[in-house]
């Protein structure tokens, strides 16, 4: 996306689509739980029925992409096998099984006799989702959006255009049999439209980008619409002096190599100086045999780390089998390093000292603070949320792995019998402020 420097104004065609989507999203917000569950099942049925067209469309996309010579990694993400499609369909039914996020009463109180305040969860409205490659994201995001009573405007990578169109066409056919207006799902296919989406403040309430750091950064810097997501995932693991070395080795290795391209994999290992010789003696051969390139500060190099780190390393998300290592004098220095360089995604400590663990978890203000376990657990599925729309590294909620709960907001409902504020100013009425 780095070649796009201008966000175009939406043209009339896009504005029409956005208006239809907005109206459909209002209708969707009025549906009840059973109607939304039924809609998801009809969406899943329709995908099953149209699976041949979808797989064929994906084959077209794949052939084109191969000729174009796109990278192997992108090709593998683009490929939608029958198994992947079935997993996507199963995922939609599972989202139907999640409990209704709407209509949850968060506050209910009597402000005064006959004047009742309620705060209830309601849909956000319209989600704008921009994602790269993975056509399975269309199924996941659409089902989460509808489950939470929202409309959704989708824009996938152009290399998956045929696949995305086939999937959305099937989803809409499913919706047509349900009580939900099929305009609640809207697919954009041109890059111009997807950029203009960033200017649809009046129609879109939340942008969810799913893709490279560059994509996310570009979107964050070029829209006034709130963005749910994260650009960098610079996660740390600090190994304290009082540790069980086996746990430290196991967790450090898992945090780095279990899936190095994930945002929740660690980029930097901080090691207390008094445990560093013993730890690195065991760890270096293991990392080497797992093809992890180790880069360290001067002290780490003295202890056998092959390459010396420069300042840039502490703020780099490698997304690869590369790990930077720093030896620190104490817990405080470890915390200070993380406070400076963390992208506030997930940071962990390995220690047998509970008060050190508590200090670390309290002073590090990342979305996830972990003790004696792999940073790779920072994930909506592993947290048991059933499905995930993304991981937010912002300070304000929703932060961390965001499930269905992140696709709703709340509003205040106040019901009276002709109550005026003046009656309270004059002393004629009084506030009772009683929880109901």
Q: Does residue 410 interact with a second copy by CB under 8 A?
A: yes
Q: Does residue 431 interact with a second copy by CB under 8 A?
A: yes
Q: Does residue 361 interact with a second copy by CB under 8 A?
A: yes
Backbone angles phi, psi at 232, to 5 degrees: -85, 150
> Which range of residues in 135-143, 285-293, 298-306, 376-384 is near a second copy by CB under 8 A?
376-384
Q: Does residue 420 interact with a second copy by CB under 8 A?
A: yes
Binding string, residues 236-255; x marks residues near a second copy by CB under 8 A? --------x-xx--xx-xx-
> Which range of residues in 111-119, 208-216, 271-279, 318-326 is near a second copy by CB under 8 A?
111-119
Shorter beta-carbon distance to a second copy: residue 59 or 410: 410
Residue 221, Cα to own-chain centre: how many angstroms? Answer: 18
Beta-bridge mates of residue 308: 296
Shorter beta-carbon distance to a second copy: residue 3 or 312: 312
In the complex, the smallest distance separating the C-beta of residue 109 from a second copy, rounded to whole angstroms, is 6
The pair of three-digit structure tokens given for residue 290, joined into one six-digit string: 């797992």
Buried b (16+ CB within 10 A) or exposed e, 1-21: beeeeebeebeeebeebbebb
In the complex, the smallest distance separating the C-beta of residue 156 from a second copy, rounded to whole angstroms, is 24
Q: Does residue 32 interact with a second copy by CB under 8 A?
A: no
Shorter beta-carbon distance to a second copy: residue 175 or 251: 251
DSSP string, 276-316: HHHHHHHHHHHHHHTTPEEEE-HHHHHTT-SEE--GGGGG-
Q: Does residue 29 interact with a second copy by CB under 8 A?
A: yes
**Contacting a second copy (CB under 8 A), which of 4, 70, 111, 286?**
111
In the complex, the smallest distance separating the C-beta of residue 395 from a second copy, rounded to whole angstroms, is 4
Shorter beta-carbon distance to a second copy: residue 161 or 205: 205
Distances (CA, A) of 161 to 135, 198, 209: 9, 20, 17
The pair of three-digit structure tokens given for residue 379, joined into one six-digit string: 């994930």
In the complex, the smallest distance separating the C-beta of residue 368 from a second copy, rounded to whole angstroms, is 5
Q: How far is residue 363's CA from residue 369's CA, in Å, rounded to a whole number?
A: 10
Would you tell me how many other CB atoms lie within 10 Å of the CB of residue 63?
Answer: 11
Q: Does residue 413 interact with a second copy by CB under 8 A?
A: yes
Distances (CA, A) of 74 to 133, 140, 373: 7, 19, 31
**Are the CB atoms for 140 and 113 separated by under 8 Å?**
no
Q: Is the omega angle on the peptide bond into residue 398 within 30 degrees of 0, that is, cis? A: yes
Q: Does residue 52 interact with a second copy by CB under 8 A?
A: no
DSSP string, 161-175: HHHHHHHHHHHHHHH
Shorter beta-carbon distance to a second copy: residue 25 or 57: 25
Buried b (16+ CB within 10 A) or exposed e, 262-294: ebbbbbbbbbbeebbeebbeebbeebeeeebeb
Q: Does residue 261 interact with a second copy by CB under 8 A?
A: no
In the complex, the smallest distance separating the C-beta of residue 121 from a second copy, rounded to whole angstroms, is 9
**Contacting a second copy (CB under 8 A), which of 98, 303, 305, 367?**
367
**Contacting a second copy (CB under 8 A), which of 2, 99, 418, 428?**
418
Three-state secondary-structure class, residue 99: coil
Shorter beta-carbon distance to a second copy: residue 42 or 146: 146
Shorter beta-carbon distance to a second copy: residue 53 or 363: 363
The pair of three-digit structure tokens given for residue 229, joined into one six-digit string: 């997501």
Distances (CA, A) of 424 to 111, 246, 419, 433: 11, 67, 9, 13
HSE of 402, CA atoms in CB hemisphere, 13 A: 23
Shorter beta-carbon distance to a second copy: residue 191 or 250: 250
DSSP string, 113-160: TTEEEEEEEEE--EEEEEE-S-THHHHHHHHHHHHTT-EEEEE--GGG
In the complex, the smallest distance separating the C-beta of residue 279 from a second copy, rounded to whole angstroms, is 14
Applying CB under 8 A, what is the total number of residues that bind a second copy?
69
Q: Does residue 370 interact with a second copy by CB under 8 A?
A: yes
Q: How far is residue 309's CA from residue 303's CA, in Å, rounded to a whole number?
A: 14
Nearest to 225 by CA among 198, 251, 257: 198
Q: Does residue 330 interact with a second copy by CB under 8 A?
A: no
Q: Does residue 377 interact with a second copy by CB under 8 A?
A: yes
**Contacting a second copy (CB under 8 A), which of 1, 39, 92, 124?**
124
> Which range of residues in 32-40, 136-144, 308-316, 391-399 is near a second copy by CB under 8 A?
391-399
> Which range of residues in 86-94, 115-123, 140-148, 182-190 is near a second copy by CB under 8 A?
115-123
List residues near a second copy by CB under 8 A: 26, 29-30, 109, 111, 115, 117, 119, 122, 124-125, 205-206, 226, 244, 246-247, 250-251, 253-254, 258-259, 339, 357, 361-363, 365-374, 376-378, 382-384, 394-397, 399-401, 409-422, 424-425, 431, 433
């Amino acid at each position: 996306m780095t070649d796009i420097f201008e966000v175009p104004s939406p043209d009339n065609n896009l504005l029409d689509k956005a208006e239809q989507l907005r109206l459909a999203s209002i209708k969707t917000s009025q549906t009840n739980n059973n109607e939304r569950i039924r809609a998801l099942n009809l969406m899943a049925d329709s995908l099953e029925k149209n699976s041949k067209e979808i797989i064929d469309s994906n084959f077209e996309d794949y052939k084109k992409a191969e000729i174009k010579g796109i990278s192997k990694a992108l090709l593998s993400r683009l490929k939608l096998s029958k198994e992947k499609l079935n997993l996507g369909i199963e995922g939609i039914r599972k989202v139907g099984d999640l409990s209704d996020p709407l209509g949850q009463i968060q506050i209910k109180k009597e402000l005064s006799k006959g004047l009742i305040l309620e705060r209830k969860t309601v849909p956000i409205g319209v989600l704008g989702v921009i994602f790269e490659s993975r056509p399975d994201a269309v199924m996941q995001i659409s089902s989460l959006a509808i489950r939470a009573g929202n409309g959704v405007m989708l824009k996938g990578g152009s290399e998956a255009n045929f696949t995305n169109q086939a999937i959305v066409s099937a989803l809409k056919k499913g919706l047509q049999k349900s009580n939900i207006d099929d305009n609640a799902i809207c697919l954009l296919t041109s890059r111009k439209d997807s950029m203009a989406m960033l200017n649809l403040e009046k129609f879109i309430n939340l942008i969810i980008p799913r893709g490279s750091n560059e994509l996310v950064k570009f979107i964050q810097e070029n829209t006034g619409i709130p963005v749910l997501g994260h650009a960098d995932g610079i996660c740390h693991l600090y190994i304290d002096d009082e540790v069980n070395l086996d746990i430290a080795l196991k967790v450090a290795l898992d945090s780095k190599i279990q899936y190095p391209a994930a945002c929740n994999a660690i980029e930097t290992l901080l090691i207390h100086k008094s445990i560093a010789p013993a730890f690195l003696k065991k760890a270096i051969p293991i990392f080497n045999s797992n093809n992890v390139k180790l880069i360290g500060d001067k002290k780490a190099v003295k202890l056998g780390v092959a390459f010396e780190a420069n300042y840039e390393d502490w703020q780099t998300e490698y997304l690869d089998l590369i790990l930077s290592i720093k030896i620190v004098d104490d817990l405080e220095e470890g915390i200070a390093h993380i406070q400076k360089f963390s992208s506030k995604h997930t940071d962990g400590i390995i220690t047998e000292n509970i008060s050190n663990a508590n200090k670390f978890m309290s002073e590090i203000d990342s979305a996830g603070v972990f003790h004696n376990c792999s940073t790779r657990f920072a994930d909506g599925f592993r947290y048991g949320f059933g499905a995930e729309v993304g991981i937010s590294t912002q300070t304000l909620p929703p932060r961390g792995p965001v499930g269905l709960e992140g696709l709703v907001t709340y509003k205040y409902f106040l019901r009276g019998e002709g109550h005026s504020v003046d009656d309270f100013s004059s002393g004629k009425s009084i506030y009772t402020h009683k929880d109901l």
